[in-house]
Structure 1
Amino acid sequence: MNRLFFSLLIVLLFCGTGKTYAVDRVVIRSITVDNPDKWNENIYLIADKDGIDYKNFTVQVGDIGRNLYDFPNWYNYSYEPKLYKEDLNGDKLEDIIVVLVRGAGTSVSEKEIHILHQGYAEFNDFQEVPVEPIDDAVKRLVKMEQKGNVITVLIGKKKYEVDYSKFGYSTPVCPPGFGSIEEYEPKSGILYGTTNVFVTIPEAYIGSLNVTYAWDGKMYKAVSVIFEAKS
């Protein structure tokens, strides 16, 4: 993945104030093809830089700027988003995957994913499709219980048990939960998501939930979850 180091300076004039304000329109991420004849396959993720945040996103396909997909409601907090290009639904056309940071702080990195399916390769026609958020997937597929020092994670017929006292944590002040640290990543044509399991935030991490997604014809939905205990 290559990054394009340039920015477009957009000057906005506000009538009646007599003042001029400047907003940086920047290319945050890019995926370029090492072949000048395939310039129409290059992907650029563009947004307004607002301090340390990014808003008002555009996905540009190709170098000419004819294929622009605007997402004014997308917002990325603090850290830079991630950009991928990979066939996730098995139609042999590469899709665009954008992972945004929707919350960040000490031991917190919450993510939001957007996937654009390619409809017709020759026209670079893309359309955003739904993705089940990882927190919704965990609520649907995972149950967690606490008895004394033991946390039980139930996924279908699979049962995992963790004695959090072995990590030196004090007694939890709340039931076991999940979240805090999230990630989405495509690998070899499959979308994966991960999220933490904890008994208190931020120090009492006891493991992670690894989610596998699949395209069901209408959306990307979680089809399996595995719990990986902290070693």
Structure 2
Amino acid sequence: MKKFFVYLVIVILVCQTGKAFAVQRVVTSHIISDVWYENIFLIADKIDSMTTKNFTVQVGGGVDSIGGELLYNFPNWYNSKFAPKLFYEDINGDGLKDVIVALISGAGSGISTKEIHVLNQVRDPNTRYEEVPVESINDAVKRLVKMERKGDEITVLIGKKKYVVDYLKFGYQYSEDPPGLGSTEDYKPENGVLFGYTTVFVTIPEAGIGSLKVKYGWDGKMYRAESITFKKAEPFKAKTHY
């Protein structure tokens, strides 16, 4: 079994006041392959116990050292809490593995929002990676899904498919607000396809009535939503007391 040691690299910076302070460079996520040139390291500045920013994606390198192979710096990437998710999988069907990074943009009570980044692998003829756009879940839903509420009946319309949900069956605190989404999100590849997930809720994120699954496809310029499916949540069942 391969062992991997996470190294902290202390970098001395000088701020505008002229005072030096230390920044810890940490490996936040990694994928170790059978071949060294497919090892993936996600490295960032540690801001506090849970927050990281100023990311570098390193492709290749030994399991006991950092640096020396393909490096891609993203100073504007920011991860709010917990560890980012890192994947290495071909998601555009060209036979070359791509780097997928899901950062946490927001986290809290009932909140878990993500920010997706994809680095497509290119060989022309040398191997390199380039970040390409990904349509956000919110933009995809605005384009492909229509949701409305009439009384206690909530309708989710996707193309010719119509889903009807009775809000009262869930036993949530009553509200006349329309359905919304975006407070909980996730992205991950499955069998060579990138998917995004979000919850449909009413009033507050905890009042979920179902979830949307977004299927992405590569159109030559960006990953754009091809289709969306809705899955109804199961209403809570009251416990029977004897």
Note if 1:27 corresponds to 2:30: no
Partner of 2:227: 224
Runs of at least 5 residues in structure 1 that lack an aligned partner in the other structure: none
1:89-130 per-position Cα deviation (integer Å, ceiling 9, x unaligned): 111100000000011110100001000011018733000011
Task: Identify if the C-alpha distance between structure 1 residues 40 and 201 changes in structure 2 by more than 3 Å, giving closer, same or farther.
Answer: same
Partner amino acid, structure 1, of 2:222: M
Q: Equivalences for 1:4-23 in 2 at 5 Å? A: 4-14=5-15, 17=18, 19-23=19-23
Task: Identify if the C-alpha distance between structure 1 residues 144 and 119 changes in structure 2 by more than 3 Å, giving closer, same or farther.
Answer: same
* Among candidates 161, 177, 182, match of residue 179 of structure 1: 182
Q: Equivalences for 1:1-231 in 2 at 5 Å? A: 4-14=5-15, 17=18, 19-34=19-34, 38-51=35-48, 52-63=50-61, 64-120=67-123, 123-231=126-234
Mapped to 2, the partners of 1:216 and 1:95 lie a distance apart of 15
Task: Identify if the C-alpha distance between structure 1 residues 175 and 85 changes in structure 2 by more than 3 Å, giving closer, same or farther.
Answer: same
Q: CA deviation at 1:170?
A: 2.8
1:147-177 per-position Cα deviation (integer Å, ceiling 9, x unaligned): 1111000001110000010111233242111
TM-score by length of 2: 0.89
Q: CA RMSD in A?
A: 1.8
Task: Identify if the C-alpha distance between structure 1 residues 215 and 4 changes in structure 2 by more than 3 Å, giving closer, same or farther.
Answer: farther
Q: CA deviation at 1:2?
A: 8.3
TM-score by length of 1: 0.93
Mapped to 2, the partners of 1:151 and 1:3 lie a distance apart of 50
Whether the 8 Å CA contact 2:184–2:205 is kept in 1: the answer is no
Q: What count of residue pairs does the alignment treat as equivalent?
A: 227
Task: Identify if the C-alpha distance between structure 1 residues 14 and 192 changes in structure 2 by more than 3 Å, giving closer, same or farther.
Answer: closer
Task: Identify if the C-alpha distance between structure 1 residues 3 and 165 changes in structure 2 by more than 3 Å, giving closer, same or farther.
Answer: farther
Partner amino acid, structure 1, of 2:107: A
Runs of at least 5 residues in structure 2 that lack an aligned partner in the other structure: 62-66, 235-242
Q: Percent identity?
A: 56
Task: Identify if the C-alpha distance between structure 1 residues 124 and 2 changes in structure 2 by more than 3 Å, giving closer, same or farther.
Answer: farther
